[in-house]
Structure 1
Amino acid sequence: MNKSFIILCCAVLLAACSKNSKPVVQEEKIIALLEQKSTVNAEATIEADMRFWNDRLATTVDDMSSQIKLASLYNQRFQYSGRISDIHKSDSLYHVANQLQKSFSSGIYRSLAANCVTQHRFIQADRYLDTAASMGDDMYLTRLQQFDVKLELGNYKQAEVILNAFRHKNNFDYYTRASKLEDHKGSSEASISFMEKAHADIKESKKDQLLPWVKTNLADMYGHNNRISESYQLYTEVVKDHPDYYHAWKGIAWIAYSHDKNTTLAKKILLWLQEQHPVPDYDLMLSEIAAFEQNNQAKNQYLASFVDKVSNPAYGDMYNKYLFTIMSDELNNQSTAMAIAQKEINNRPTPQSYELFAWSLYKNGQVQEAVKIAESRIINKTFEPDALYHIGLLLKKSGKPKLAKQYLAEALESSFELGPVTANEIKEQLKTL
C-alpha cells in the first residue's frame, strides 16, 4: 500500500478523533437553563388537581371516580416528586376503587400493572394484565401493556407475536414497541429508526404531552450509538421547554461527565437534581464521578448514601441491579450479590438477570460454571455493553484470549455509555491480551 496513502488515512482518523473529543455541552447555556424560573410547574398543577379530588372524596367517601382520579394523580406526581410513597398510595386507591366498581372494567387492572412495572414487579404486572385481558374490553390497550411486560420478563417470542398482531403498524404505539424489540435484538440502527418515526408521528399529530418522552428516549438511544451531539441537542430542547423533565437533565449531566470530562458541571447538575427530584439514582452517578476524580472518600460516601436509601423496603426490587454491582464489585459481599442475582432471575429470567448470576459465580471463583451460564443464557442473547465486558473477562479467565479480546473490544465501542472509569478498565484488560 502506498505510504503517503497510509499517512493520509492516519491524519484523517486523528482529525476525526480530535473533532469527536471536543466538548459538546455548552456550559454557560446549561447553567442559564438551570437557573431559569419556570412559568409552568407540573407538580404544582398535579397537586392542585389532587386537592380538588380529595375535597370531593371527603364529601362522598365511596366515590369510585374520585378514587381512580386520585390514584392516577399520585402516579403522575411520582414522576416529579420522586417519592416512592406516591406509587404505594396510588396502588392503595386503585385497590379500593376496584372493590367499589359495580360493573367490571379492565382499566384499573391496567393501571395496577403500570404501577407494578414502575416497582419492577413484573410477574404481578403480567397477572393483572391477564385479568384485564379476560374481561375483553379495551383489548388494544391491554395488548400494548402485555407487550411491554412480556419483553421485561424475557418472553421475547410472545412479545413479538403480540407486536405482529397489531393491525396498524404505522403509528406511535407500534413504532415505540418495535424500537424496544429491535434494541433487544441488538439492532441499534433499526431501533433508532423506529423511534425517529415515533418522534415524527408525535410532531405531526401535535400530541405535545408525549413529545418530551419520545425526545428523551431518542436522545438516550443516540448517546448509546455514539451520536453525542444529536443526543445533547434533543436533551436541551426538552429541558428548555420542560425544565422539570429530570431524565433529560440527567442525560446532559452524563454527557458533561462521560464525553466532555467536565466533572464540575456534571456535579452541579446532579446536586441541583437531588434538590428538585430526590431519588437515589443521582448518588450513583456522583460516586462514579468521584471514582473518576480518584476521590475515594466521596465515592464511598455516595455509595453508602445510595445503599441506605434503597434499603427502604418501599423500593422493593427497583434497584436490585445497582445493589448487585455495589455488593459484588465494591464491597466484595459475594453472598449478598449472589442472592440478589437469584432474586432477579426469579423476578424475570432474562439474559441480563443471568448475566448477574454468571458474574457472581465468576467473582466467587466458579469460573467454569460462569462460562456455562454465559454460553447457554447470555452470549448472543443480550448486547448490553456491561454484559459484553463481563463476558470478555469470563472468557479471558477461562483461557480463551482471542474471544475475550473480541468481546472487550466490542464493549469498548460503548465507552460513552459505560463511562470513563469502566472504559479505562477495559483498556487495561486489552493490554494484557
Structure 2
Amino acid sequence: MNIKYLIYTATVVLLIVSCKNETPKAEIVETSSYEAYLNNVNKQSTVNAEQEVAYWSKRLDKDTTGIGDIGALAGAYSSLFDASGNINALKNSEVLYKRAIEIAASKDPYVRGLAHNYISQHRFKEAKTLLEDLYAGPTNKRATEFMLFDVYMELGEYEKADQMLGNFRNNGDYNYLIRVAKWSDYNGELDSAIRYLEKAKDIAESRDTKALKIWTYSNIADFYGHAGRLNDSYNHYIKTLELQPDNSYSKKGIAWMKYSKEKNTTEANRILDSIIVHHNIPDYYLLKAEMAEFDGDTIKANAYLDTFMEKAANPMYGAMYNTYKIEVLVDRDPVKALALANEEVNNRETPEAYQLLALAQLKNGQKKEALKTIEEHVAEKTYEPMALYHSALVYQANGLKDKVEPIKEELQGASYEIGPVLAAEVEKL
C-alpha cells in the first residue's frame, strides 16, 4: 500500500520541497503546548464564515442586482470552504463569481476570484484561460501577474512562470517573496526559499496583518520541517494556532510530527480526530491509513482507504483528489490508475503528474514505458521525495542499479519528511 502523506497548503502557492533533513536533539512536541487547540468547539473560522454568508445573503435577497453584495458573498463562501472543507461552499462561490462577471462593469476582481476558485478545484487550464484573457486587456497587471505565475507553476509551464516572476521582481514585496520562495524550492534551493519566506514573515509582522501572519507562519513551518529544523517548524505551527486556534493545516502538521518523529500514532490520530470534527476532507483518511499500516493493522488501513475513496468519489471534487486516487488505485486497480494518471497529465504536465504516470505504467507491467516517462519528464526536474522514490522503483525494475543508489541515499536523509512506512520501503531498494 505505502500511501505517502503529502501535506497540502491551503493556498494557491503549493510548496514542492526537497529532501534535506537532520535529527533534532530532543523531543519537541509537548502535548501541553497544543492541547488547548484540540477542543472540539474550536471552529470559530467556520462560524465567522457562516455569519458572513448569512449577512451577505440577506443583503442580496433584498437587491439581486447588488454587484458588491454578490462579490462579497462569493468571497464569504470561499472563506467557508477554506474553514470547513465543504465543497458545496466552493461551488456556490463559483456560481456567484460567474454571476458577478456577467453584470459588473469592472470585472477584474471577479475574474481573479473565479480563477482562484478554479485553481482550488484543480481546474488549472480554465484558470489560465481566464487570466490570460484578462491580462490581454485593461487590467490590474500586477495582481493578474501574481496569479498567472501561480497557475503556470501548477501547469508545469515553468518558462512562462519564470518570465512572469521577472515582471514583478521586488524584494520588498510580500507577494513577490512568497512566489520567489516557491520558485527557489522548485529549483531545489531550500535554504534560499526559507530566506525569502523569512523576509515575507518580517513584512507580515511589520504590517501586523493577521491573515498574512497566519499564512506565512503555517507555510514557513512546513519549510523548516523539510529542512530538518523541527523546533522552528513546531514553534511556527503554534504561532499560527495562537492567531487562529482552529487552523487545521497547523494541527495536521503537528499530527505528522507526532507520527513521523515520535512514532506516536495514538496521539497523531487524536489530533486528526479533533480536526475532522470541523474540517472533514478526504485526505485525512490517507494519513490514518498510513498510520494503521505502520501499526500493523491492515484491516483498519484498508478501511480508511475505503473511506477516502468513498469521500473523494463525490463528483463535486472533480480532479481535486486525482493524485491521491492514483496512489491508492495502483495497488487496487492498476488499469484504472493508469487511465486516471493519463487524465492527470493532461490536466497538468508537471514532473509530479508524470511520476504518477510512470508508477501506474510500472504497475501495469509497462516498465520500458515507465522508464521513458521518468527519463523525459521527471529526472532532474523535481526534488519531491515521492517522485524520487517512484523513479527508483522504475530504475530498479529496469535493472539500473547505479541510478537507484543515489536516490536511496538521498531518501535515507529524508526519513522525517517521508515518514516511517516509506522509510522502511526505501531500505529495501
Q: TM over 0.5: same fold?
A: yes
The one-letter code sitting in structure 1 at the alignment partner of 2:119 is V
Identity %: 33
Q: Does the CA contact (< 8 Å) of 2:60 and 2:69 recur in 1?
A: yes
Matched with 2:276 is: 274
Q: 1:264-304 deviations in whole A, cap 9, x for unaligned?
A: 11010011111121111211111111000001111011100
Shift of 1:182: 1.0
Q: Which structure has the bigger radius of gyration?
A: 1
Shift of 1:22: 3.7
Number of residue pairs aligned between Structure 1 and Structure 2: 409
1:35 aligns with 2:39: yes
- Once residues 388 and 88 of structure 1 are traced to their aligned partners in structure 2, the CA distance between those partners, rounded to angstroms, is 35
Matched with 2:402 is: 402
The one-letter code sitting in structure 1 at the alignment partner of 2:102 is Q
Matched with 1:51 is: 54
The one-letter code sitting in structure 1 at the alignment partner of 2:69 is S
Moved more, 374-383 or 410-419: 410-419
Q: 1:14-53 deviations in whole A, cap 9, x for unaligned?
A: xx98x73643210233223323965x92222222222222
- Once residues 363 and 167 of structure 1 are traced to their aligned partners in structure 2, the CA distance between those partners, rounded to angstroms, is 44
Matched with 1:378 is: 378
Compared CA separation, residues 91 and 296, structure 1 to 2 (3 A): same
1:26 to 26, 30, 43: 30
Shift of 1:164: 0.9
Matched with 2:3 is: none
SS at match of 2:90: helix
Larger RCO (alpha carbons 8 Å, 6+ apart): 2
The one-letter code sitting in structure 1 at the alignment partner of 2:382 is T
Taking only aligned residues, the RMSD between alpha carbons, in angstroms, comes to 1.7
- Once residues 253 and 386 of structure 1 are traced to their aligned partners in structure 2, the CA distance between those partners, rounded to angstroms, is 20
Matched with 1:263 is: 265
The one-letter code sitting in structure 1 at the alignment partner of 2:318 is G
Matched with 1:82 is: 85
SS at match of 2:396: helix
Q: Runs of 5+ in structure 1 lacking a partner?
A: 1-15
Q: Does the CA contact (< 8 Å) of 1:22 and 1:260 recur in 2?
A: no
Q: Does the CA contact (< 8 Å) of 1:258 and 1:416 recur in 2?
A: yes
Q: Does the CA contact (< 8 Å) of 1:106 and 1:135 recur in 2?
A: no
Q: Does the CA contact (< 8 Å) of 1:129 and 1:145 recur in 2?
A: yes
TM-score between both structures, scaled by the size of structure 2: 0.92
Compared CA separation, residues 299 and 36, structure 1 to 2 (3 A): closer
Instruction: Map residues 334-373 of structure 1 onto 2, 5 A cutoff.
Output: 334-373=334-373
1:145 aligns with 2:157: no
Q: Does the CA contact (< 8 Å) of 2:184 and 2:193 recur in 1?
A: yes
- Once residues 313 and 306 of structure 2 are traced to their aligned partners in structure 1, the CA distance between those partners, rounded to angstroms, is 11
Matched with 2:14 is: none
- Once residues 36 and 169 of structure 2 are traced to their aligned partners in structure 1, the CA distance between those partners, rounded to angstroms, is 46
Q: Does the CA contact (< 8 Å) of 1:386 and 1:411 recur in 2?
A: no
- Once residues 288 and 210 of structure 1 are traced to their aligned partners in structure 2, the CA distance between those partners, rounded to angstroms, is 32
Matched with 1:218 is: 220
The one-letter code sitting in structure 2 at the alignment partner of 1:207 is T
Instruction: Map residues 301-312 of structure 1 onto 2, 5 A cutoff.
Output: 301-312=303-314
Shift of 1:306: 0.4
SS at match of 1:20: coil
Q: Runs of 5+ in structure 2 lacking a partner?
A: 1-20
Q: Does the CA contact (< 8 Å) of 1:288 and 1:421 recur in 2?
A: yes
Matched with 2:202 is: 200
- Once residues 308 and 80 of structure 1 are traced to their aligned partners in structure 2, the CA distance between those partners, rounded to angstroms, is 22
Matched with 1:99 is: 102
Compared CA separation, residues 205 and 240, structure 1 to 2 (3 A): closer
Matched with 1:4 is: none
1:393 aligns with 2:397: no
Compared CA separation, residues 36 and 121, structure 1 to 2 (3 A): closer
Matched with 1:112 is: 114
Q: Does the CA contact (< 8 Å) of 1:354 and 1:377 recur in 2?
A: yes
Matched with 2:12 is: none
TM-score between both structures, scaled by the size of structure 1: 0.91
1:71 to 53, 74, 87: 74
SS at match of 2:136: helix
Q: 1:154-184 deviations in whole A, cap 9, x for unaligned?
A: 0111111111121533221111000111111
Q: Does the CA contact (< 8 Å) of 1:215 and 1:235 recur in 2?
A: yes
